[in-house]
């Protein structure tokens, strides 16, 4: 018989609906049941693409004997961290306090019925190994401690809640003026932590760090800083050459388990790839290296092919596993590759993908990565560059076609507002930079879905699947969709997107801002009360919601002339400024917002015949100008905000404003480009 998860929409929760564990969703009824039965809560948080979540499920949650222990001693609650990032944040913070180390997924937390945690871990094996206790024995021990040490646990819980409350940033008692010091500190810290051999920051495991790379590229441009530029471009190059990147199908996995970017955990997340699209566009603009353009084209192709729903929204992720094996869909035996290719193709592909060295994955398999430059191999094999490129393209096409016949990884088909915002922004930017109408249509369809389906009665909801839209949306949903609307407006101005941007910004101010101290809570003022209400500025795998909110509000203020948005962004920056001074590199997205607060974005409005303004837009977009907002008008727009309300023109005309200083209209493209330079 299915358990209480059978009516949920989350694919992750539905994966556990037939477990013998009497799983329940997180709600007041589940917590009340724990109170009535005087049992502790076993809270398990994971997500559908998570490899170790699957391992723990197969070992323990599908086991009748383990389930019997869980059902006897606990009220077991299963949470999808992607649907409930609020719960995930709170209990990851609690785990860090309880275990004195970082968390991850699956997260396993034992709670009192009021939701206060008293013990936590991540993955636990069924039998003792890896220095971890066996899960059944741990369950019995936890149940015994809960029965016999209630007063001691009560004291620990009180101290834990006090510690969680103390994590909130505090406003400075002193009045001060914002300055650029944290930006320079962040750049310096990132350069010190830069891996000059492999790219990236620090050692294994290695994550993508998009907010930090964005900051480095921006500051390299602003300060003519070649060291920062090299760190960002070399990292982006090495990631895309490595096994972290799908060399056949495009798109990035979540992180690399090694320092060389060879072997990832193979899940592909929407949020990573949306952020990467924008970064690789900037890498192309600042370097002119066609390799970065290829990465954009391949990744956008993967998005269109595999991640967009018929309704327009983007799906959440692809699983790491297929047929119960991590990476099985992606890795190769050397003989299988040889059998698919011509002799000439294989002679090139063998050294190109490192098949002439030892296998780099389990079961004597290879996860493909670029091992040698194509140009050097062409010379070695006496091929001209065109022949080598054709051989590689033909080989990749054959390998991709053969891989498509394999059992595919599962796809999590829920549509999340926040992650859609990141992908819409990436696709809109890529469409603008490379002049791709199909990418623009894709981004616009996803935005139409978000506005038409997730926005209900003046309020944003977080997730949609199988016709059901639900859950109160979070800070990230509002901030990331606001950023996406602004990217779309710069690619193609539509009044609907401007209205949605204003609606989202107004919701941020009304429902999320801390009116007394500044900054934005992760949950809205009318959200369910949890044991901690977070207000965080540090970037993680995704940029900080406060950082992107501040950026979006500053840019919207420049486009609309509404100072309320810039004032809220400045209050946010003042709240986090002391923390930024202490650990600047952890606040990359807020450092970018700080830079834009100190030097507000320039606004360029292009008017005139459509074919001429399109050519001007293409010429401007071909430059890496991160401090510029460009809006192209067709002449039939109504209800334009004052900064964009320009008279129609018979010839292409540019109106350029820097802060409160506006230049006379410009009717010569070369003059405009010189002014922008």
pLDDT classification of 146: cutoffs 50, 70, 90: very high
Question: Residue 483: inside a domain, yes or no?
Answer: no
Residue 175 — pLDDT band, cuts 50, 70, 90?
Answer: confident
Q: d(Cα 489, Cα 481) in Å, to the nearest integer?
A: 12
How does pLDDT run across 575-624, given as a tens digit for each residue? Answer: 999 999 999 999 999 999 999 999 999 999 999 999 999 999 999 999 99
Q: Which of 483, 445, 122 is nearest to 453 (CA)?
A: 445
The answer to whether the peptide bond before residue 356 is cis (omega within 30 degrees of 0) is no
- Residue ending a domain, choose from 387, 405, 423: 405
Task: Tell me the C-alpha distance between 617 and 614, whole Å.
Answer: 5
pTM of the model: 0.96
Task: Let me know the angle formed at the C-alpha of 33 by 1 and 98, rounded to the nearest 5 degrees.
Answer: 105
Question: Residue 410 has what pLDDT?
Answer: 95
Q: Tell me what pLDDT residue 660 has.
A: 83
Whole-number Å distance between alpha carbons of 449 and 287: 35
52 falls within a domain:
yes
Closest CA to 402 of 354, 332, 347, 307: 332
- DSSP, collapsed to helix, strand or coil, labels residue 113 as coil
Q: Are 434 and 296 in contact (CB under 8 A)?
A: yes
Query: What CA–CA distance (Å, rounded) separates 540 from 552?
Result: 18
**Total Cβ atoms within 10 A of residue 615:** 14
Determine, yes or no, domain membership for 246. no
* pLDDT tier at 662, thresholds 50, 70, 90: very high
End residue of a domain, out of 140, 165, 190: 165
How many helices, marked H, and strands, marked E, lie in the chain? 25, 19
Query: CA-to-CA distance for 214 and 105, rounded, in angstroms?
Result: 27
* Residue 467 reports pLDDT greater than 90: yes
Is 262 inside any structural domain?
A: no
Residue 555 in contact with residue 568, Cβ under 8 Å? no
Among 426, 640, 449, which residue's Cα sits nearest to residue 542?
A: 426
> What CATH number is associated with residue 108?
3.40.30.10
The answer to whether residue 28 is domain-embedded is yes
In the predicted structure, residue 483 carries a pLDDT above the cut 90:
yes
Q: What is the pLDDT of residues 24-54, one digit of tens each?
A: 999 999 999 999 999 999 999 999 999 899 9
CB neighbours of 117 closer than 8 A, spacing ≥ 6?
43, 91, 94, 95, 98, 109, 110, 111, 157, 160
Quick one: tokens of 431?
A: 């469409």
Phi, psi of 465 (to 5 degrees): -160, 140
Q: List Cα–Cα distances, 425 to 177, 303, 305, 488, 504, in angstroms.
A: 32, 13, 18, 7, 15
H-helix or E-strand spanning residue 97: helix 85-99
**Contact 353/373 with Cβ under 8 angstroms?**
no
- Mean pLDDT (the chain, rounded): 96
Interior angle at CA 549, CA 543 and CA 554, nearest 5: 125
The total number of structural domains that make up the chain: 3
Rg of the chain in Å (alpha carbons) = 26
Check: CB of residue 279 under 8 Å from CB of residue 425. no
Q: Is residue 191 domain-resident?
A: no
Of 390, 405, 420, the residue that ends a domain is 405
Q: What is the pLDDT of residues 282-315, one digit of tens each?
A: 999 999 999 999 999 999 999 999 999 999 999 9
342 within a domain of the structure (yes/no): yes
Q: How far is CA 172 from the centre of its chain?
A: 31
Closest of 611, 612, 614, 604 to residue 654, by C-alpha: 604
Nearest one of 544, 652, 552 to 605, comparing CA atoms: 652
Residue 413 pLDDT greater than 80, yes or no: yes
Distance between CA atoms of residues 432 and 493, nearest Å: 12
Domain residues for 648? 602-676
Residue 619 falls within a domain, yes or no? yes
Residue 1 pLDDT: 82
Q: CB-based burial of residue 428 (10 Å sphere; 0-12 exposed, 13-18 middle, 19+ buried)?
A: buried
CATH code, domain carrying 379: 1.10.10
Q: Is the peptide bond before 106 cis (omega within 30 degrees of 0)?
A: yes
């Amino acid at each position: 018989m299915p358990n209480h998860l059978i009516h949920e929409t989350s694919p992750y929760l539905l994966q556990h609906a037939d477990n013998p564990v009497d799983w329940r969703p997180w709600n007041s009824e589940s917590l009340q049941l724990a109170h009535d039965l005087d049992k502790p809560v076993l809270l398990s948080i994971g997500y559908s693409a998570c490899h170790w979540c699957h391992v723990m499920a197969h070992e323990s949650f599908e086991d009748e004997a383990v389930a019997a222990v869980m059902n006897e001693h606990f009220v077991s609650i299963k949470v999808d961290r992607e649907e409930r990032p609020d719960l995930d944040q709170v209990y990851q913070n609690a785990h860090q306090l309880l275990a004195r180390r970082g968390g991850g997924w699956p997260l396993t937390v034992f709670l009192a019925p009021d939701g206060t945690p008293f013990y936590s871990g991540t993955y636990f094996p069924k039998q003792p190994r890896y220095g971890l206790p066996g899960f059944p024995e741990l369950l019995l021990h936890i149940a015994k401690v809960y029965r016999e040490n209630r007063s001691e646990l009560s004291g620990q819980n009180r101290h834990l809640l006090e510690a969680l409350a103390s994590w909130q940033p505090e406003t400075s008692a002193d009045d001060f003026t914002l300055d650029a010091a944290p930006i320079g500190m962040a750049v310096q810290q990132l350069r010190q932590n830069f891996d000059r051999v492999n790219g990236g920051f620090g050692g294994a495991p290695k994550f993508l760090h998009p907010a930090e790379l964005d900051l480095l590229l921006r500051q390299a441009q602003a300060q003519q800083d070649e060291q920062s530029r090299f760190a960002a471009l070399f990292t982006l190059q090495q990631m895309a050459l490595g096994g972290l990147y799908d060399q056949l199908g495009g798109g990035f996995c979540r992180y690399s388990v090694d320092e060389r970017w060879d072997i990832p955990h193979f899940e592909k997340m929407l949020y990573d790839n949306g952020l990467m699209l924008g970064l690789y566009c900037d890498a192309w603009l600042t370097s002119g290296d066609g390799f970065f353009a290829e990465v954009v084209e391949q990744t956008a192709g993967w998005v269109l092919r595999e991640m967009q729903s018929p309704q327009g929204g983007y799906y959440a992720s692809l699983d790491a596993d297929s047929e119960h094996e991590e990476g099985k869909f992606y890795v190769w035996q050397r003989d299988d590759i040889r059998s698919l290719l011509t002799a000439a193709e294989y002679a090139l592909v063998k050294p190109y993908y490192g098949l002439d060295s030892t296998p780099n994955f389990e079961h004597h398999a290879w996860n493909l990565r670029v091992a040698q430059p194509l140009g050097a191999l062409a010379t070695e094999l006496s091929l001209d560059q065109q022949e080598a490129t054709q051989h590689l393209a033909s080989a990749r096409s054959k390998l991709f076609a053969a891989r498509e016949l394999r059992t595919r990884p599962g796809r999590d088909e829920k549509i999340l507002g926040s992650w859609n915002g990141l992908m819409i922004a990436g696709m809109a930017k890529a469409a603008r930079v490379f002049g791709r109408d199909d990418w623009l249509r894709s981004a616009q369809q996803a935005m139409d879905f978000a506005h038409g389906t997730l926005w209900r009665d003046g309020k944003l909801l977080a997730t949609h699947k199988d016709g059901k839209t639900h859950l109160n949306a979070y800070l990230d949903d509002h901030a990331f969709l606001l950023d996406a609307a602004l990217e779309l407006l710069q690619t193609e101005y539509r009044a609907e997107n401007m209205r949605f941007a204003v609606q989202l910004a107004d919701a941020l101010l009304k429902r999320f801002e801390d009116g007394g101290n500044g900054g934005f809570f992760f949950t809205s003022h009318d959200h369910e009360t949890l044991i901690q209400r977070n207000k965080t500025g540090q970037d993680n795998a995704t940029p900080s919601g406060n950082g992107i909110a501040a950026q979006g509000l500053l840019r919207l203020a420049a486009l609309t002339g509404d100072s309320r948005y810039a004032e809220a962004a400045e209050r946010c920056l003042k709240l986090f400024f002391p923390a930024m001074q202490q650990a600047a590199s952890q606040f990359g997205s807020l450092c970018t917002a700080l830079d834009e607060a100190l030097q507000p974005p320039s606004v360029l409005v292009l008017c005139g015949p459509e074919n001429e303004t399109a050519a001007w837009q293409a010429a401007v977009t071909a430059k890496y100008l991160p401090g510029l907002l460009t809006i192209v008008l067709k002449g039939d727009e109504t209800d334009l905000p004052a900064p964009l309300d320009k008279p129609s023109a018979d010839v292409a005309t540019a109106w350029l404003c820097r802060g409160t200083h506006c230049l006379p209209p410009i009717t010569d493209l070369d003059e405009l480009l010189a002014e922008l330079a």
